[in-house]
Amino acid sequence: MNHIQQKFQVAFSYNIQFTENMFHPENHLFLDFITQYGHAAFRKKILFIIDEGVAQHHPDLQEKISLYFHQQTQVQLVSPFVIIPGGEQVKNALQYFDQVLQAIDDYGIDRHSFVAAIGGGAVLDMVGYAAAVAHRGVKHIRIPTTVLSQNDSGVGVKNGINFFGKKNFLGTFAPPVAVFNDSAFLATLNDRDWRSGIAEAVKVALIKDLAFFEWLEKNALALAARDQAAMARQIFRCAELHVQHISSGDPFESGSARPLDFGHWAAHKLEYLTQFSIRHGEAVAIGIALDATYSHLKGWLTETELQRILQVLRNLGFDLYHPALAENDKDNLWRGLNEFREHLGGQLTITLLKALGKGEEVHEMDFALVKQAVDYLAQVAEISA
């Protein structure tokens, strides 16, 4: 029988720029990118979607952006800006997704124009998904404003919203055309949000880079005390490790291996069980503690190695346990594990720790051992209380 085989490759390339006060008139980094990107013959537009919390903490931001674009003619800044809530609510309610799509349509944002999202990871996830499906893909620029989004979620290729009560059930793999990490946005974060994103640095260090974990050990207290130089170094190295991993193997996750989700299977369920009262990074810290404890009980990590991990998390200011882990004799956690299995396509792949800085993939979890790990952390929390 005759057949036609189609095969092609698409190269993706985008820069992650590190800057400060990116909309200052003398900072031309962002404007140079916009004006130089793509074909000069096309009249470009740019639509800004801004996290409501960012807009409140930076009340002059919209005026700064307007003045920044005022004197140039190559790009049309559409206004008014679209302001949407931040946090997980923006991924749970379809009205915000619809609002972004409506703005893309109303302002005539085409495939030669840009949708720039300024906000935390949840806003970037949702706006990235809207940009990816509008016109089969309009150009998306990410401007992360939290530690978590600057060192992890904002520099990657995933977008999504929550649906059917499941995290990121709807989504796409669609890289942004650029990411701009502006350190000035971090100054207004509260302590919880400042700390939260550091959990992702602990995660990637534990599975990939012993030297980075040792650096985090030495600098955990400084990071918790809002040392800006330490935070800048942490964000750069964490982002670097994430993008290196994405480009090195399976960027669109066609397989079931997801080492960058170390500590996340329990974290995702814990977020839902607490109605998102805890931050993603706080849940990840607990998930790391749980999987590290499980790795120890499995005989892979020594007691000393486990205590080093738990102490780093404590020094950063994280709790290591939440009572929701143990609810219904851990049955909710068991359902979370099965939901994670389903999300991966049926084959469970969990990254555990063979040693500090060395992740190991497993395809089964001994849930009796998971229960022991939960009880271990509960005892640790009781002793610390």
**The predicted structure's pLDDT at residue 268:** 87
15-188 shares its CATH topology with 191-379:
no
**The predicted structure's pLDDT at residue 340:** 77
Report the CATH number of the 15-188 domain.
Answer: 3.40.50.1970
**The predicted structure's pLDDT at residue 8:** 80
| Residue carrying structure tokens 């929390």 | 381
Angle between helices 303-315 and 198-208 (to 10 degrees): 160
> What are the DSSP E strand ranges found in 195-277?
none
Predicted structure pTM score: 0.89
Report the CATH number of the 191-379 domain.
Answer: 1.20.1090.10
Ramachandran region of residue 123, left (φ > 0), alpha (ψ -120 to 50) or beta? alpha
pLDDT tens digit sequence for 48-85: 999 999 999 999 999 999 999 987 778 899 989 999 99
Amino acid at 177: V
Domain ranges for the chain: 15-188, 191-379
pLDDT tens digit sequence for 148-182: 999 988 888 889 988 887 778 899 989 999 999 99
CA distances (Å), origin 232, targets 30, 142, 201, 229, 291: 20, 18, 12, 5, 28
Q: pLDDT by residue for the chain (385 residues), tens digit each? A: 789 989 888 788 889 999 999 999 999 999 999 988 887 767 789 999 999 999 999 999 999 999 999 877 788 999 899 999 998 899 998 999 999 999 999 999 998 899 999 999 999 999 999 999 999 999 999 999 999 999 988 888 889 988 887 778 899 989 999 999 999 999 999 999 999 999 999 999 999 999 999 999 999 999 999 999 999 999 999 999 988 887 766 565 654 346 678 888 899 899 988 988 999 999 999 999 999 999 999 999 999 999 999 999 999 999 999 999 998 888 888 888 888 777 666 678 889 999 999 999 898 889 999 999 999 999 998 887 6
Query: 150 — phi, psi (to 5°)?
Result: -75, -30
Say whether the peptide bond before residue 80 is cis (omega within 30 degrees of 0). yes
Rounded Cα distance, 363 and 48, in Å: 42
23: three-class secondary structure by DSSP: coil
Cα diameter, the chain? 72
